[in-house]
Amino acid sequence: MIRLEKVKDMIIDGRKIANKIETNLIKEVKKLKQVPVLVVILIGHNPASEIYVSKKQQACEQIGILCKIYRLPISTSQQKLLQLIEKLNKDKKVNGIIVQLPLPAKFDRNTIVYSIAPWKDVDGSNPINLGFLEIGQPLFIPPTAAAVLETVKYTKVQLKCLSVCLVGYSSLVSKPLVPLLIDLGATITICHKNTKNLIKHTKEADILVVAAGVPKLIKASMVKKGAIVIDVGINRQGKKIVGDVDFENVKKKAKFITPVPGGVGPITVVMLLRNLIQAARIYPVK
């Protein structure tokens, strides 16, 4: 059984955690000589992407950050998009750049994401930033991975010697989490939705992080009693948004669990803005 300091709620309220971090970020912004500037590039009219961008814009306003949104038609060519990113890379008044994902199919995701200058890559996806992360000297931690760590921090558990199972191997969550968790002393197992006998791995985990993109993939029978379950999945089922974990049944076994929505998501947004403030501190606008 995991040893934990006393924490009131087993259902982790991501909004509450995010609000606490926001309070600290507001203080950090006030210490800067100029207001940080975030640019978000949105292509087409994906309803989910529109919601995510709106949430980022709202969070920026609450913290005191300027958020500029470039809404481009789906007819925009990859060359035109790359030209815009290059222009923003050179713009000394811009601290951070995000291209909202997913991109329309005609775009090569890696080519676009990797074109963002490392010092403005507040999503932490540039290979240079991922390399720094791998050697334990991250400039920007990918926001969702950082949000998972903040969630674990909330539980007050000590990761040293604990077993952590990551279900999913995305470059935004599991891959950057591996070196971070190893540095904290955890023992890591990486699985995915097609892993043979997946239950064998998930049921042994003290901490289960799920980012597989499969609605309610993780059932109660797959979870160790008293485990910490962090659900990063976001899936639409009819009019409802659900995670990768069968929340209603798994919560009966978990020591702590994140809901969807309202769990990791709100923390991810403020982790992005924490990266932006870091960018503004290291490379101030002129």
Q: pLDDT means per 10 residues in the chain (286 residues)?
A: 54 96 97 95 89 93 97 96 98 96 94 96 95 93 97 94 94 93 96 95 98 96 97 89 96 97 96 97 74
Contacts of 167 (CB under 8 A, 6+ apart): 191, 192, 193, 195, 198, 202, 208, 209, 210, 211, 212, 217, 218, 244
User: Residue 100 is part of a domain; what is its CATH number?
Assistant: 3.40.50.10860
Residue 56 bears catalytic tag: yes
Q: Specify the number of domains making up the chain.
A: 2
For 207, the 3-state DSSP assignment is: strand
Domain range enclosing 54: 33-119
In this structure, the answer to whether residues 161 and 59 fall within a common structural domain is no
| Per-residue model confidence (pLDDT) at position 53 | 93
Does some domain include residue 103? yes
Residue 158 bears catalytic tag: no
Residue 13 bears catalytic tag: no
| Per-residue model confidence (pLDDT) at position 200 | 97
In this structure, the answer to whether residues 67 and 165 fall within a common structural domain is no
Does some domain include residue 239? yes
In this structure, the answer to whether residues 160 and 246 fall within a common structural domain is yes
Q: Distance between CA atoms of 204 and 39, rounded to whole angstroms?
A: 42
**Which amino acid type is present at position 204?**
E
Q: Distance between CA atoms of 188 and 177, rounded to whole angstroms?
A: 10
Catalytic residue chosen out of the listed positions 121, 123, 231, 246: 123
Report H helices in 118-246.
Answer: 127-134, 143-155, 174-183, 198-202
- Bridge-based pairing of strands 228-231 and 235-237 is unpaired
114 alpha carbon, distance to own chain's centre:
18
| Per-residue model confidence (pLDDT) at position 286 | 57
Contacts of 16 (CB under 8 A, 6+ apart): none
Catalytic residue chosen out of the listed positions 100, 121, 224, 251: 100
27 φ, ψ (degrees, to nearest 5): -65, -40
Report how far apart, in Å, the C-alpha atoms of 228 and of each of 18, 40, 148, 217, 251 are.
Answer: 19, 33, 11, 16, 10
Strand 207-210: give its sheet, edge to edge: 187-191, 163-167, 207-210, 228-231, 256-257
Q: Which residues of 91-127 are buried (b: 16+ CB within 10 A; e: fewer)?
A: eeebbbbbbbbebeeebeeeebbebbbbbbbbbbbbe
Does some domain include residue 225? yes
| Per-residue model confidence (pLDDT) at position 5 | 46
In this structure, the answer to whether residues 160 and 111 fall within a common structural domain is no
In this structure, the answer to whether residues 93 and 169 fall within a common structural domain is no
Q: What is the dihedral of CA 247, 249, 250, 255, to 10 degrees?
A: 100
Catalytic residue chosen out of the listed positions 8, 30, 55, 56: 56
